[in-house]
Structure 1
Amino acid sequence: MIIPCDDPVSKGAQRFEIFTGAGKRRDWPPEVKASIVAECYAGNEGVGAVARRYGLDPSQVYAWRKDLHKQLADQGQAPSSAEPAAATFVPAVVELSAQPDPAPTRRVRRRRRAPTAAVELEIDGVAVKIARGADAGVIAAVIEALKATR
């Protein structure tokens, strides 16, 4: 159920950006591109955080990084491997401990007892058991009904 003032349409915009200027594509000089790519490798921030800081899409920064690696490879320079090494698995050793067999536990079953009746009536061979907490009006009505059938 949607409460009239609780749906996302009536709340309005939570966050919006205003783009100013002519709206044309930005032209980034190669030095600026290289510095942005270098920031991705320098600190603890990822590509997404750096891209947001400059108002870029992370895919654009990844493309710049790929282009920079290609340029370095074409010039015969090895691109720096600043990325952390891939995670590797470590062999696990499992040792079985020599634990003594636990003593067999005896399950204790609890018997379910029928709740004992608080009042038992027998009128003309008809037995009526009334449990604790029964409504007094219902009890009186049952007794009157039994008396009437005699």
Structure 2
Amino acid sequence: MCATNSFLKSLGVEFYASGQRRWPDEVKAQAVAETLAPGATVNSVAACYGVKPNHLSAWRRLAKQGKLILPAAETAEEPTAFAPLVLCEPAAAQAQEFPSRSTDMLHIVFGDVTIDLAADTPAVRIAEIVHALGASS
């Protein structure tokens, strides 16, 4: 148990006298990213970090909701982040005409702001932008 505590302290986890721990978002994201590795299970990763599997699953839900940004994967084949995607038909009054090259661009619309990105923009960067937009609201 002592080795686990020193490992967690080295990651920046704070321990309180009550036994509770405060997990930095970076450590949560690292643990979630480890669950996405081929062959990894939530139970095995949770055991490594000394948390209950349902706690780690809650962190995975935060990542899926875009509230927890995962670290970049080491290779392009690995999944890097969850990002919520909402598809809807715009209201007739709000319909916007995008340039004819819209297939070459990714459009993020947030209120009156439209952010145009190249179609090959990495998912990590898109997730960072969406997270920043959510934090500003």
| TM-score class normalised by the smaller sequence | 0.3 to 0.5
Per the normalisation by structure 2, the TM-score is 0.38
* Structure number with higher relative contact order (C-alpha < 8 Å, ≥ 6 residues apart): 2
Greater helix share, structure number: 2
Query: What is the TM-score with the length of structure 1 in the denominator?
Result: 0.35
More strand by percentage = 2
